[in-house]
Amino acid sequence: MNRALIVDDRLDNRYLLRALLQGNGFTVDEAQNGADALARARAVPPQLIIADLLMPVMDGYTLLRHWKADLSLRSIPFVVYTATYTDPKDERLALDLGADAFILKPAEPDPFMARIREVLTIKNSGGLKHASEPPIEEMVLMKEYSEVLVRKLEHKVLQLEQANRALLQVIAERKRAEERVWLQASLLDQVRNAVLAAGPQGQVIYWNKFAECLYQITEAEAIGHDVMDLIVPASERQGAREIFATLEKTGQWEGDMVLLRKNGTTFPALVFNKALNDAEGRRAGFVSVAIDITERRRLEEQYRQAQKMEVVGKLAGGVAHDFNNLLTVINGYADLVLENLPQNQPEWNFRQGDLEGRRPGSLAYAPIAGFQPARLHCAKSARCQ
């Protein structure tokens, strides 16, 4: 069985390459950099090495130079597998240093394994360079290597500058976003209404300062807890579930609710609920604004009582007016009766004139003993018969 040594500083790259090689019958050993790879190969030489070029401690070019300079390793095929050094000059330098294949990441599994088998076939047939062959002029290779490194360094510096500008822009945007969030949170804390936000499962994710005052529950006590358990009395749970169902269906709900304080007391509130959606339009929770309407309810009750009293007053005034009308008629008929009574009847003792506390012309009478006012009759007078 062929033994392959893969060299890459990225764990995910090594994982994918190991899975591919093992699936094709290879035994795999791994190293994170060139120095580690040299130590492992000298201890247990592999039949093939596949190495990245950009690595810490010792890069792939340096590893390749040491590999081909080591008499015990130089006959082992060296395959470069890189996603960073992709220029034709990079490939030429690697091949000049003795690489047996140069493959760019990411490669499709089938073409990659075909290239690996081709390299092994050439090696088994004796087609690879022998250690006795004279190496290319060292100074020429070092010059090419330096040029490659300088070019990569310049490219990396340019990438870092671009990344730095992008990072500064991201930091500036994040700072502005954080300032906006801070301003919004500060404004919400100044609102004289209880504002809360809950996630899709009803857990509290925001709780403003006035909510702490209204519900007597601190932000630390509220965050992460179910809003139903915090502020909805047990007797109102079913109604609250219906409200949440309406909110889920229509996206909003407004109306009166009975809410709960931490000490167990309840209060009436006008509540505005609005659903929250994420970027894909899925329900991400809801925001709720509650206004304590206890004082408003008290004033409404006072107003209703005042209206009742006004109605009673109007009714009493109407009754008194009608009664006065009846008394006026009765008083008029009484005056007519008195004018027609005989003056010498002993059964009557009427007095005409002004009495204290009565208007001029009013009449008063003082019945004699045995006289019944409810029965006006005159038994002796023919005029009363």
Residue 235 has pLDDT above 80, yes or no: yes
How far apart, in whole angstroms, are the C-alpha atoms of residue 165 and residue 159? Answer: 10
More reliable by pLDDT, 33 or 187: 33
Report the pLDDT value the prediction gives residue 48, as an integer from 0 to 100.
Answer: 92
Collapsing DSSP to helix, strand or coil, 183 comes out as helix
Residue with tokens 């909110």: 247
In the chain, the amino acid numbered 101 is: A
pTM for the structure as a whole: 0.42
User: Helices marked H in the chain — which ranges?
Assistant: 11-23, 34-43, 60-69, 88-96, 109-124, 138-190, 209-215, 219-222, 227-231, 237-250, 294-339
- Mean pLDDT, residues 251-271 taken together: 91
How far apart, in whole angstroms, are the C-alpha atoms of residue 261 and residue 383? Answer: 86
**Other residues' Cβ atoms within 10 Å of the Cβ of residue 56:** 10
Residue 123 has pLDDT above 80, yes or no: yes
6 pLDDT band (50/70/90 cuts)? very high
Collapsing DSSP to helix, strand or coil, 372 comes out as coil
Q: Are 322 and 314 in contact (CB under 8 A)?
A: no
More reliable by pLDDT, 263 or 162: 263
Strands 48-51 and 3-7: parallel
Average model confidence (pLDDT) for the chain? Answer: 79
308-328 pLDDT, tens digit per residue, is: 888 888 888 888 888 888 888
Q: In Å, what is the CA distance from 377 to each residue of 80, 251, 347?
A: 143, 85, 10
Residue 371 has pLDDT above 80, yes or no: no
Structure tokens at 201: 């499962």
